[in-house]
């Protein structure tokens, strides 16, 4: 078995650590490029959403490296992501590829099926080894997210422009060569210390902007055109509403404290949206309210073109702005999105937030969390 998976931010770190520990050969897709997108766009239905197209590009590039099995996270509810496994398998079969796709639906849809699929990947590993591997993978997820959080704060305050991104680039080059969860975790911890040591400007009060939207679009930098990096270079501290660590804690862990915290945030959306309509629309509305209550300077919704759940959320966000007064902008991305126009909109929005702050004269201290 030679296993691959779609890129989504730093998910490859946990996936590689897990599979290495289980003795499964893993083929990490090449970093997403325009070529990846071109392959996926050419082979996918025209009206498919952007994540599906990029996934197909990931698979084709991995198949060319010898992959025979694809791991894919599942979904439930009225969102096209729930059909990805079936649609993608049909596309690959039509292209003549005999590929096995193993879909890991969240266990709340049925633990028996979830366990059987784990066993298909784990092979002869004992359940104790499997449990240990998953535990280490969850630690990788948590610490990798902590590394990114340090980067978000440092990027907006760094004394030497570009130093944070330079260090993160070095991290990516080094960690990809690691084998197993132990080496990956050691590298993450090493670079957490390196990022913490980056010199900061004094007397800096960066604008604070929260990102909301569909999880894949938020987490994968190629898809959102590196919005976190662009905002950081504009002197903005970014707060992420959805992270891989959060997804793991909500769907895969037994951390009841975090689940209660998540439910409390979702409850904030009740006056506007009181149930799941698919994808992460519910979280988009709830976190927009949460960010507004925490007095962030602005909020940006990032969504793939044609994403029904996020369209529902987008229609609600003007009411959130009317009630709380925190500016909200929506950015829609697809294969035709131009980087120049995208960046111009970001600059204009940040200029607006800066002018609003100057009018009020308010300097806000750093928030703890988002």
Q: For the domain made up of 206-370, give the CATH fold.
A: Rossmann fold (3.40.50)
Taking each helix axis from N to C terminus, what angle separates 180-196 and 11-21, rounded to the nearest 10 degrees?
150
Residue of 105, 106, 88 lying closest to 97 (CA atoms)? 88
Residue of 342, 334, 341 lying closest to 46 (CA atoms)? 334
- Of the two residues 43 and 1, the one the predictor is more confident about is 43
Task: Give SS3 for 277.
Answer: coil
Q: Which two tokens stand for residue 277?
A: 């309509």
DSSP one-letter string for 334-357: -TT--HHHHHHHHHHHHHHHHHHH
Statement: residue 278 has pLDDT above 90: no
Which residues have a Cβ under 8 Å from the Cβ of 117 and sit 6 or more positions away?
102, 103, 104
pLDDT at 108: 56
Q: What does the pLDDT look like over 5-57, one tens digit per residue?
A: 999 999 999 999 999 999 999 999 999 999 999 999 999 988 888 988 999 99
Q: What is the pTM of this model?
A: 0.90
| Structural contact between residues 220 and 8, judged by C-beta atoms closer than 8 angstroms | yes
Task: Give SS3 for 172.
Answer: helix
Strand ranges for the chain from DSSP E: 2-4, 25-26, 69-73, 100-104, 207-213, 236-240, 298-304, 328-333
* DSSP assigned state of 358: H
pLDDT at 82: 66
DSSP one-letter string for 42-73: HHS-TTS-HHHHHHHHHHHHHHTTT--EEEEE
Q: Where in the chain is the domain with CATH 3.40.50.11900?
A: 206-370
Q: For the domain made up of 2-124, give the CATH fold.
A: Rossmann fold (3.40.50)
pLDDT at 87: 83
Residues 186-210 have a mean pLDDT of 96
Which residues have a Cβ under 8 Å from the Cβ of 141 and sit 6 or more positions away?
11, 13, 14, 244, 245, 248
What span, in angstroms and rounded, lies between the C-alpha atoms of 142 and 46?
36
pLDDT band for position 254 (cuts 50, 70, 90): low
What span, in angstroms and rounded, lies between the C-alpha atoms of 218 and 245?
13
What is the length of the chain? 370
Statement: residue 110 has pLDDT above 60: no
User: Could you give phi then psi for residue 333, rounded to 5 degrees?
Assistant: -120, 140
């Amino acid at each position: 078995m030679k296993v691959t998976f779609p890129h989504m931010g730093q998910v490859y770190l946990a996936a590689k650590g897990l599979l290495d520990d289980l003795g499964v050969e893993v083929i990490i897709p090449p970093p997403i490029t325009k070529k990846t997108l071109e392959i996926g766009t050419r082979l996918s239905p025209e009206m498919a959403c952007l994540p599906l197209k990029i996934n197909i590009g990931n698979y084709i590039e991995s198949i060319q490296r010898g992959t025979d099995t694809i791991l894919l996270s599942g979904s439930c509810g009225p969102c096209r992501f729930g059909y990805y496994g079936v649609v993608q398998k049909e596309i690959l079969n039509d292209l003549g590829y005999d590929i096995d796709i193993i879909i890991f639906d969240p266990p709340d849809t049925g633990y028996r099926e979830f366990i059987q699929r784990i066993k298909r990947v784990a092979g002869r590993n004992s359940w104790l080894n499997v449990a240990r591997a998953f535990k280490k993978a969850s630690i990788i997820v948590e610490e990798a997210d902590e590394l990114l959080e340090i980067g978000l704060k440092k990027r907006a305050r760094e004394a030497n422009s570009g130093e944070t991104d330079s260090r993160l680039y070095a991290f990516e080059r080094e960690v990809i060569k690691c084998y197993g969860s132990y080496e990956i975790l050691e590298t993450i911890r090493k670079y957490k210390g390196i990022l913490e040591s980056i010199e900061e400007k004094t007397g800096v009060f960066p604008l604070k902007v929260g990102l909301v939207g569909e999880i894949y679009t938020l987490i994968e930098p190629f898809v959102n055109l590196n919005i976190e990096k662009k905002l950081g270079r504009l002197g903005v501290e970014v707060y992420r509403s959805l992270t891989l660590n959060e997804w793991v804690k909500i769907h895969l862990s037994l951390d009841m404290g975090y689940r209660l915290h998540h439910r409390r945030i979702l409850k904030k959306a009740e006056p506007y949206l009181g149930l799941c309509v698919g994808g992460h629309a519910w979280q988009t509305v709830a976190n927009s309210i949460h960010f507004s209550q925490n007095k962030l300077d602005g909020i940006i919704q990032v969504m793939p073109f044609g994403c029904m759940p996020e369209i529902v959320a987008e229609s609600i966000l003007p009411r959130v702005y009317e009630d709380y007064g925190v500016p909200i902008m929506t950015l829609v991305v697809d294969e035709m999105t131009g980087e120049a126009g995208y960046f111009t909109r970001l600059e204009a929005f940040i200029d607006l937030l800066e002018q609003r702050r100057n009018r009020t004269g308010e300097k806000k201290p750093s928030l703890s969390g988002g």
